[in-house]
Structure 1
Amino acid sequence: MLRRIVLTATASVAALVAAVPAAGASPLPLLPLSLPLPLPSASPQALDQLTMTVSRTGARTDGLYQLECGPAGGTHPSAQAACDRLEQLAQNGKDPFAPVPKDQMCTQQMGGPETAHITGTWHGQRVKATFSRTNGCEISRWRTMEPVLPNTRS
């Protein structure tokens, strides 16, 4: 697409320069052609940076984690797998950080006391999400985010 725009602009300028002297008018001053178009990023996740605070998991996975994607890095123990999971969810058109809808019926079961708070940027969008395991919907939501969130099943 960018190549087509550049070729069209170049052809238009060349035609204008050739036509003006032929019409007998004074030639227009030639200005340098500047294209302030940003080039597409190499990766849609180039700016993905998430901070996770995981607590009440029984101390084995409690802590503060940084996750960077594009390339995968940070202090997350499974950074590449976590970035891959987020990309997989994005390809399915799902927002992995969306809360459970208020009118959603959920089974009243307790999956555990674990909580996780995620903030940062993902695919250019601000993220501020809280996860828990307080009912069937929240348990499912947590499991969908594994390995971004730790597997808490024994």
Structure 2
Amino acid sequence: MSSHRSPHRLAVAVAAAAAAAALPALLGTPSAAAKPLPVPAPGPAHHLVVTVSDTGQAADARTYDLYCHPTGGNHPSPAAACAEVSKKTVWGADPFAPVPKGTACTKIYGGPATAHVAGRWSGRPVRADFSRADGCEISRWKKFAALLGTPRT
């Protein structure tokens, strides 16, 4: 192969150099090409506010913040709660979804305890209510026992 440049390669090199020289003008200012895009500030993609009430026991009624990835907040067992919710998270499914309408549930009453979970999980908004009104709701509560706690009856 010869060290001689072909007219085609020379034309391509000249066109590339002209395009690179014109780029700052196309972007508006010469300094615009040198500035990096701003990086979005990290936000809590896994932050839940949990309120448990009507438990019949003053010690069981509480509101706390839970942060996951990294773990933090004032939850009594943040690592266990984060692990539990993470295990329940499946792509395309809402881990906090209510019991589907029309589901046959036993008429077992688990007590007056209620819980409300709000915030963001995996970057998506969460608004979920829990109760212990029947067998399905008790099962759903137990699914999140590390997050919600187990009310004493």
TM-score, normalising length: structure 1: 0.72
The separation in 2 between residues aligned to 1:35 and 1:95, in whole angstroms, is: 36
Q: Contact conserved, 1:119 with 1:127, CA < 8 A, in 2?
A: yes
Instruction: Tell me the SS of whatever aligns to 2:139.
Output: helix
State how 1:38-77 maps to structure 2 within 5 Å.
47-57=45-55, 58-77=57-76
Which has the larger helix fraction? 2
Q: Is there any run of 5+ residues in structure 2 with no aligned partner, and where?
A: 1-8, 24-32
Partners of 2:78 and 2:10 lie apart in 1 by 55
1:94–1:145 CA distance, 2 compared to 1 (3 A): farther
> How far apart in 1 are the matches of 2:124 and 2:104?
28
TM-score, length basis structure 2: 0.73
Give the letter for the 1:52 counterpart.
Answer: V
- SS of the residue 2:118 aligns to: strand
By how many angstroms is 1:69 displaced?
A: 0.7
1:1-154 matched pairs, under 5 angstroms: 19-21=12-14, 27-28=18-19, 29=21, 31=23, 32=33, 47-57=45-55, 58-91=57-90, 95-152=94-151
The higher radius of gyration belongs to 2
Summarize the Cα distance change of 1:26–1:56 in structure 2 as closer, same or farther, 3 Å threshold.
closer
Q: Percent identity?
A: 42
Once the two structures are superposed, what CA deviation does each residue of 1:113-145 show, in whole Å capped at 9, x if it has no partner? 110011111111111110000000000000001
Moved over 6 A (4+): none
Question: For this pair of structures, how many residues does the alignment match?
Answer: 133
Q: Which runs of 5+ in 1 are unaligned?
A: 1-15
